[in-house]
Amino acid sequence: MAMKWCDEHWTGLRKSIEDAGMAHLIARGGAAAAQRLKDELAGTATEATFDPLMAAWARIDACFLKPLGPGAALHYMAVPENVCTLCELARMNPQSPEIVTNWVGGSTRDVRAHCVEIGLLK
């Protein structure tokens, strides 16, 4: 299967982005989000198409996978069930019950700062 966030963590990240004043920047639906990602990969994205929810999600996934090494993404793609990045992070760090909250909050702050930097927020 793949890495696919559970509803609880996806909803939590979305709420964090919305609570930080970025709800109006989130793509309206899956097709719009996919088009924004396609534009970004093609190099045709603009600041106006920046999606803070997708950026925060990608940042968290990248930060999770990086210390696990180059084969980590392939490993998670080969498992027979979907794996939520944040569920896996919590499972790997039972001594740190606040880790998910910290990662979501940190990613939200970083994405918000980027939105300010590129002029999407004041």
CB 112 within 8 A of CB 53: no
3-state DSSP assignment of residue 97: coil
The letter for the amino acid at 14 is R
Tokens of 23: 């709800």
User: How many whole angstroms separate alpha carbon 27 and alpha carbon 53?
Assistant: 8
User: How many whole angstroms separate alpha carbon 54 and alpha carbon 114?
Assistant: 13
Positive or negative, the CA dihedral 109, 63, 15, 118 is: positive
Report how far apart, in Å, the C-alpha atoms of 40 and of each of 79, 109, 113 are. 28, 21, 19
Q: Is the pLDDT of residue 2 over 80?
A: no
Q: What is the pLDDT of residues 49-70, one digit of tens each?
A: 889 999 999 999 999 888 877 7
Q: What is the pLDDT of residues 79-93, one digit of tens each?
A: 778 889 999 999 999
